Structure 1
Amino acid sequence: MPKLSVIVPCYFNEDNIPVTTRELVANEANFPPEVTFEYVFVNDGSGDDTLGALLRAQALYPGRIHIVDLTGNVGSYNAIVAGMAHATGDCLAVITADLQDPPELMVQMYAHWQQGYKLVIGNRQDREDIGLAVAMAKLFHWLMKNLALRNIPDGGFDFVFFDRQVATEVLRLHERNSNVFYLMVWLGFAYVNIPYIRRKREIGKSRWTLSKKIKLLVDSLLAFSFVPIRAISVLGLGLGFVALLYGLYVIALKVARPDEPAGWTTLMVVMLFVSAFQMVALGVIGEYVWRGLDAARKRPLYVVRDVYS
């Protein structure tokens, strides 16, 4: 009897929990009768009554819901890792607590898993959302696909269904400042992707702020791509070549017109440009060095306050 563990990271989802749990439990009827379920909700340091809502849902559906309560907010990806560590299923799925991803898609995902696929991805073919957030999301995934992992599906994804072996490998890596979904693809298992249209959020307000999105972009690029470091080398060589040409020009000008004063404006522009490049280069190198330090300290990705089973 295969067991499916559904991991749901929660952050300020007090109002979502009753609807989400009801939809997830109702979706069980679409699966073959031999499948058993557990739902691992991870409270990622929510400042509202998310934990209380989860405990009430647990009382309504005894034996199905497990709650992992973290001591503080560590980010949704680390919360997912915590859920993976506490899940016991033969296969696992990750879905958002706001139900923007359709739970019924997990039935198709399960069918592909039975066919032998270790990883099944629900990729966003389109979104019901509009505005700047959608444009930023598309730009983010375009950068990742073209600069880091070329084998990821178009449109981005954070709705996945995967085998216990994939979860074991992710937990074994202990990756920090990374992207757990891209890490699953990086492992190299053959996967199948199912396109869908992501729903508009109906309940509550997203806490996925601009600063968090920028951090995710930087973390993902640095974790899976050498492009930033290689770009520094290429730009450095290019600037060196330009500097050589400019130096030859200055020498030739001095020889041809020894009494003409040098251009102060040109000199300042060159100095400011080179100095700006050096600061950017140091910043990129510093990002890599900081991540190396963070990994060397081996601090835990999360701290569990309590588990309610």
Structure 2
Amino acid sequence: MKHCEISIVIPVLNEEETLRELYKRLISILEKEMKISYEIIFIDDGGHDTSWNIIESLHTENSRVKGIQFSRRFGHQYALKAGLDYAKGKVLVSMDADLQHPPEVIHDLYKKWKEGYQIVQALRKDTKGESKLKKMTSTCFYHLLNFLSDIQIEPGSSDFRLLDRQVVDELKRLNERQLFYRGLIQWVGFKHYSLLYIADKRFSGSTKYSFSKMMSFALDGIMSFSTKPLRIAIVLGCIVSLFAFFNIIYALFAHFVYQRTVPGWTSILISVLLLGGIQLITIGIIGEYVGKLYIENKKRQNYIIQETIE
């Protein structure tokens, strides 16, 4: 392809029921409305349905549809990285395959890029049919992330965004193994704009992000961009040490002045359990950081490709 204006990067995990509808809506917006040169890159993240066969079929119909198939499941962030590594467009748009990210918003993102913005973040204002529990967990995710991290991510952010080629090239230069693009996008800087949109309901299937996966994702973001958890552990240690110091003074005073031993086993039990709990939490926090350093030090590649369609 001699010239490509826009690359659409779409991680795919068992989305056989949505791919053709997604493709249909993308073609409508890119060819009929925007009328620009494009490529659509689907990254199959080790799924077990017929998604890859559908991607092959779409390529047969349209050579501008490309595909990358991982040898196993490496994760959504690594699928995004593969898309960034292979995209050739002057501008790149990343989005999910479940049609909660409306393809029609791409034109609005592109217009903002034409105005000079190098990063245009699609910011979810609301989601059609979203439960109160889902909204609550999403809100908790961003509050926890922003409280414990040194970067600030706007609530409603996702991996639905437009990136200028200069931004893409800078992201490709990063060699991190623990990827968290929502944080990296904030870290690299550049001229940024947030565009509000209403997210659609899932076209089919169920979400791939359970509450436990969201928490794990939050921890990755926190530990990738902040040492604040370690500082919190230090503060807790100082508070407990201060409490223990005053308790020791009280015990000595009671023994030598009042000539009696501090009575009761309850206070001892509470002190031991409290101190032990804080020690375990602190060791766990340190262990998380050490574990991530261990993984980074191995310098393994972020993903392995089994097959490509170009």
Task: Please give the TM-score of this superposition, normalised by the length of structure 1.
Answer: 0.94
- Whether the aligned pair in 1 keeps the contact of 2:229 and 2:285 (CA below 8 Å) is yes
**Contact 2:12-2:97 at 8 Å conserved across structures:** yes
Task: Look up the SS of the partner of 2:160 in the other structure.
Answer: strand
Matches of 1:69 and 1:38, distance apart in 2: 17
Instruction: Look up the match of 1:20.
Output: 22
Stretch moving more, 128-137 or 273-282: 128-137
Matched residue, 1:215: 216
Q: Offset at 1:163?
A: 0.8
Residue 221 of structure 1: how far off its partner (Å): 0.8
Q: Which residue of 1 aligns with 2:306?
A: 305
8 Å contact from structure 2 (residues 121, 194) kept in 1? yes
Alignment correspondent of 2:268: 267
Q: Which residue of 1 aligns with 2:145?
A: 144
Preserved contact between residue 30 and residue 107 of structure 1 (Cα < 8 Å)? no
**Secondary structure, counterpart of 2:74 in structure 1:** coil
Paired residue for 1:5, among 4, 7, 12? 7
Aligned to 1:45: 46
Aligned to 2:55: 54
2:187 matched to 1:186? yes
CA pair 28-175 structure 1, distance change in 2 beyond 3 A: same
> Per the alignment, in what secondary structure is the counterpart of residue 46 of structure 1?
coil
The 2-side partners of 1:185 and 1:150 are apart by: 7
**Partner Cα separation in structure 2 for residue 135 and residue 220 of structure 1:** 19
Evaluate the alpha carbon distance shift between residue 278 and residue 260 of structure 1 in structure 2; reply closer, same or farther with a 3 A threshold: closer
Amino acid of the residue matched to residue 13 of structure 1?
Answer: E
Residues of 1 paired with 2:34 and 2:261: CA distance? 88
Contact 2:44 2:68 in 1 (8 A): yes
* Structure 1 segments unaligned to the other structure (5+ residues): none
Letter paired with 1:65: V
AA at the equivalent of 1:119? I
8 Å Cα contact 1:17-1:57 kept in structure 2: no
One-letter amino acid of the structure 2 residue matched with residue 227 of structure 1: K
CA distance in 2, matches of 1:17, 1:102: 13
Structure 2 residue runs without a partner (length 5+): none
Partner of 1:98: 98
Q: Which amino acid aligns with 1:124?
A: R
Deviation for aligned residue 1:228 = 0.5
After TM superposition, what 4+ stretches of structure 1 lie above 6 angstroms from structure 2?
Answer: none
* Counterpart for residue 257 of structure 1: 258
* Number of residue-to-residue matches in the alignment: 307
CA contact (8 A) 1:30 1:104 kept: no
The offset of 1:132, in angstroms, is: 2.2
Q: Helix, strand or coil: the match of 1:5? A: strand
Query: Which amino acid in 1 is paired with 2:187?
Result: W
Deviation at 1:158, TM superposition (A): 2.2
Structure 1 residue 150: deviation in Å?
A: 5.0
Structure 1 partner of 2:156: 155
SS in 2 for 1:202: coil
Distance in 2, Cα, partners of 1:126 & 1:95? 17
Q: State the shift of 1:38 in Å.
A: 0.2
Which amino acid in the other structure matches residue 88 of structure 2? T
Aligned-pair CA distance for 1:196: 1.2
1:54-94 CA-partner distances (Å, limit 9, x unpaired): 1122222x221000000011111110001111111110000
Counterpart in the other structure of 2:277: 276
> Is the CA contact (8 Å cut-off) linking 1:113 and 1:120 kept in structure 2?
yes
Of stretches 99-108 and 200-209 in structure 1, the one that deviates more from structure 2 is 200-209
